[in-house]
Structure 1
């Protein structure tokens, strides 16, 4: 039995300790906003926040996630999350949408730590988040838009 703090709620799940957090979320808790992409932490589709830091859930075991505060795309909230989500909608960022939960989680983390990011900050923070549809220009523009919203 593994106990996880997910989106502010304690969840007990009867899974092997080495099961990746991604599969606990998707298969055991039916939280399908976090996506499976590559299974090797190379694409970012499975990004969640662990103690506020973007983390690839496909490579974090359930046992190693115990004691941490885990936030999924279903649980992000607050002014930064709202600004990012608003910018994503305003600029129509998503094309197929598959990678977008991971992109949004990375963007929220970036703007939480760096409210006025430079182009280099954005590129570094979003590096490794792959978009099959190549909406990178819109993603970057949305992050800049969200930063402007947060300044106002």
Structure 2
């Protein structure tokens, strides 16, 4: 019997209060809005286990077209938990990491729309410069600049 193989990672999901603000932030980061829609009804709740639900979602894609970020704003049922401001060592899904071309230039742009640096930008050996930022609603986002590729 042949073992089923994984084909790809489809997307990472993030739940937010303000879909519009979050879309603008990730667009400034470099993602493109691929689509936006409302998903609702009993069928959707069967997938999530939430029962009848109404969720507005936006799918954003990276410039290379390989990775997607699904941003969700739940209209019903109401959000029941909030761990956006948890530190990086908290349990569960916590952050998403992006490789960027120029971390300093991007940080300057993102700070103008409310991003805050967590800690500092550090260099890992001669390979990467790395940092974490807090984006809209306190979302934790990692940035990595690969060195020696320019």
**Normalising by structure 1, what TM-score?**
0.31
Instruction: Determine which structure has the larger strand proportion and give its number.
Output: 2
Q: Which has the higher contact order (CA 8 A, sep 6+)?
A: 1
Q: Whose Rg is larger?
A: 2
